[in-house]
Amino acid sequence: MEALNDVAVFVQVVECGSFTAAAERLGLSRSVVSKYITRREGRLGARLLNRTTRRLSLTETGHLFFQRSQRALLEIEEAEAEVSRLQEAPRGKLRINSPMSFGILHIAPALPEFLARYPDLSVEMNLDDRQVNLVEEGFDLAIRIAELPESSLIARRLAPCRHAVCATPAYFKSHGTPRKPQDLRRHNAITFRYQQTPDEWHFVSGQGEVTRVQIDGSLQMNNSLALREALLREAGLTLIPTFIVGDDLRAGRLQAVLTEYRTLELSIYAVYPHRRFLSPKVRAFIDFLAEKISDPPDWERAGSGCHEAMQ
């Protein structure tokens, strides 16, 4: 314990930049702080600090010892916090942001079970297809469907987000069933505004050959649930996330085509701000989502129609 105290005082002296400032932070006298440093240097047999009347500076040995000591103290602090977290029950308000369609279909129905499991929690869920700034807008966590770029956010992947080319059986009966990606040029395509390339769909064959198809259509939308409604009313065909149409494929209301090709694949993530310690309420919700949304997710499991479409 004495050695650990010496190390902790040394780190405080370096971080504060002086014996006096470190003494004030630690609630000790300057002479006691100096005693700790002298004892540590004596045990190491090496000078850690160059002292002048005006300033302190680290020796080469001191710089190495500071880096290792600071890291070790952080590990101890995090270990203590981890133990404390195990004793804490999630409580308070959890603010969540989710894309609108995914939130309506897959987050909102699960919230009653989550709140029953954690009665000291309340949830505020915001549905918004724009990418919010979690820190500035005060969200604890967001669901993102994307391939995430490098950022200061921490992300946990929950499941794949695959897409399928779909229409009603009646539409295909009237307009023909596409057999290869190029056939899509002859069809009315309903496009989703927020896709990276809404007017160009990409397909990968089993041999790895990539086909890019310029598609055309009379209808573009910014919401997947509205797009599904247009599909069911035989307005055309579209490239749509399987989490939207899993039940429709299972029931035969929609039919997936070009299933031998791979097409747009994203991932569903839970993201949260970079914080040193993850709060119990955020950890509990992420673990709950991971339990509910596995890989493969429910909407793609065998018998749903999506599973077969994505093989």
Q: Confidence class of residue 278 from pLDDT cuts 50, 70 and 90?
A: confident
Between the CA atoms of 48, 50, 56 and 58, what dihedral angle is there, to the nearest 10 degrees? -40
- For 126-133, which contacts have Cβ atoms below 8 Å and span 24 or more sequence positions? 126/95, 126/96, 126/97, 126/98, 127/98, 127/99, 127/100, 127/103, 128/97, 128/98, 128/99, 128/100, 129/99, 129/100, 129/194, 129/222, 129/223, 132/97
- Residue 305, pLDDT > 60, answer no
**pTM given for the model:** 0.66
- Of 17-26, 76-85, 192-201, 219-228, the least confident: 76-85
Summarize the chain as % helix, strand, coil (round to 5): 45, 25, 30
Using an 8 Å Cβ cutoff, are 268 and 145 in contact?
yes
Q: What pLDDT is stored for residue 230 in this prediction?
A: 95
Q: How far apart are the first and last CA of the chain?
A: 59
- Residue 170, pLDDT > 70, answer yes
What does the pLDDT look like over 35-63, one tens digit per residue? 989 999 898 999 999 887 677 889 999 88
Q: What pLDDT is stored for residue 105 in this prediction?
A: 94
- Residue 172, pLDDT > 90, answer yes
Report percent pLDDT > 70 for the chain. Answer: 91
Domains of the chain: 2-86 (1.10.10.10), 92-158+269-295 (3.40.190.10), 161-265 (3.40.190.10)
DSSP 270-295: EEE---SS--HHHHHHHHHHHHHS-S
Q: What pLDDT is stored for residue 150 in this prediction?
A: 56
